Amino acid sequence: MVKALTDQTFERATAHGVTLTDFWAEWCGPCRMQSPVIEDLDRDLAGKVAISKVDVDHNAATAAKFDIMSIPTLLIKKDGRVVEKLVGLRTKHQLKAVLAKYTTLEETN
């Protein structure tokens, strides 16, 4: 299950390894479409990539810190440093291809 992060837990949870965080809101249609993709990816990449979500309506400080202006936005960090910021709906294949640049994942999975 994808872990929900808050303003208080975000930095610690994304400080090590490769992480993907979905910035979303309940009222956002594309966010609701992105959610099952993120859940599926989380199952596929368990132990390889830490996947989480941040509700921008309840965690505005974190969203502001990373200049999240549109949602869904997917933030990929490696060892605490932002390496990719993807704005808009993405497929599982697209996300795996991006994550493969920072991990030992096979791009074709």
28 labelled catalytic: yes
**What whole-number distance in Å separates Cα of residue 76 and Cα of residue 23?**
11
Tens-place pLDDT, residues 53-80: 999 999 999 999 999 999 999 999 999 9
CA–CA dist 8, 62 (Å, integer): 9
Q: Which residue among the candidates 2, 25, 28, 83 is catalytic per the annotation?
A: 28
Specify the pLDDT at position 104: 80
Residues 44 and 67: their CA atoms lie apart, in Å, by 29
24 is annotated as an active-site residue: no
Of 5, 31, 38, 98, which one is the catalytic site residue? 31
Token pair of 84 as six digits = 């990719």
In this predicted structure, what is the pLDDT of residue 109? 44
Q: How many helices (H) and strands (E) does the chain have?
A: 4, 5
Set out the domains of the chain in order of their start, with CATH numbers. Answer: 3-88 (3.40.30.10)
pLDDT at 28 over 90: yes
